[in-house]
């Protein structure tokens, strides 16, 4: 095979690889149950999808609750309860509240109660309070958590799929994060 034919064949194969990678991710019927670090859909029915610029505008005008849903290890403590132990230091958007593990597809009863209780407390029981869910880019945890908040009756749900990665890439600050206690 000549060099030009090889080049054309290589370019064609790369083009098909790129086209496959750019295909939209289909919406699941329910929650994503595994492989949470993977490309996410472009939308979430019932929620508004934000990019970094739109999120900055929302923060400036409506002061939404910023909810970081990055996972953390949950370990028993000496008092008979549990505490969060992050696998690595976490940095998130200023003003955020970190609610670990609420974005898994299936929640343990204690985690679901924690999520409901925290949403109630943070929103003051206002189902119309703007809630922004995020994690990292290509993380289904935020998609699942936002969907779950919609199922609880929250009406102003926003999803920021670029997460802390996109925020930092936009040149915006991140701060050290501490998980919200159970």
CATH no. for 36-176 = 3.40.250.10
Q: Identify which has the larger pLDDT, 83 or 21.
A: 83
Q: What is the pLDDT of residue 78?
A: 87
pLDDT at 3 over 50: no
pTM of the model: 0.87
Burial of 146: CB neighbours in 10 Å, binned 0-12, 13-18, 19+: buried
The pLDDT-based confidence of 22 (bands split at 50, 70, 90) is: low
Q: What is the pLDDT of residue 21?
A: 52
Pairing relationship of beta strands 157-159 and 82-85 according to DSSP bridges: unpaired
Question: Quick one: what percent of the chain has pLDDT higher than 70?
Answer: 88
Q: DSSP label at 81? A: S
Average pLDDT over residues 107-122: 97
Residues 130-163 pLDDT 10s:
999 999 999 999 999 999 999 999 999 999 999 9
Average pLDDT over residues 115-136: 98
Token readout for 25 is 């991710």
Q: Rounded to whole angstroms, how far apart are CA atoms 153 and 97? A: 20
Q: What is the pLDDT of residue 166?
A: 98
Residues 36-57 pLDDT 10s:
999 999 999 999 999 999 999 9
How many residues are given for the chain? 182
Q: What is the pLDDT of residue 23?
A: 80
Token readout for 180 is 């919200």
Q: What is the pLDDT of residue 13?
A: 41
> CB-based contacts of 119: which residues, under 8 Å, 6+ apart?
131, 149, 152, 154
Helix (H) or strand (E) holding 131: strand 131-134
Residues 4-14 pLDDT 10s:
443 334 333 44
């Amino acid at each position: 095979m000549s060099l030009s034919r090889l080049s054309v064949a290589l370019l064609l194969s790369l083009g098909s690889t790129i086209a496959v990678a750019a295909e939209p991710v289909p919406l699941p019927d329910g929650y994503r149950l595994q492989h949470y670090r993977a490309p996410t859909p472009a939308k979430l029915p019932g929620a508004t999808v934000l990019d970094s610029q739109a999120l900055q505008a929302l923060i400036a005008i409506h002061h939404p609750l910023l909810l970081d849903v990055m996972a953390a290890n949950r370990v028993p403590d000496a008092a008979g309860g549990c505490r969060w132990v992050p696998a690595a230091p976490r940095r998130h958007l200023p003003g955020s509240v970190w609610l670990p593990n609420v974005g898994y597809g299936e929640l343990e009863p204690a985690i679901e109660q924690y999520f409901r209780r925290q949403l109630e407390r943070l929103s003051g029981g206002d189902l119309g309070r703007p809630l922004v869910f995020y994690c990292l880019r290509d993380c289904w945890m935020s998609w699942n958590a936002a969907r779950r908040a919609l199922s609880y009756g929250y009406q102003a749900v926003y999803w920021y799929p670029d997460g802390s990665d996109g925020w930092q890439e936009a040149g915006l600050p991140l701060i050290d994060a501490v998980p919200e206690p159970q």
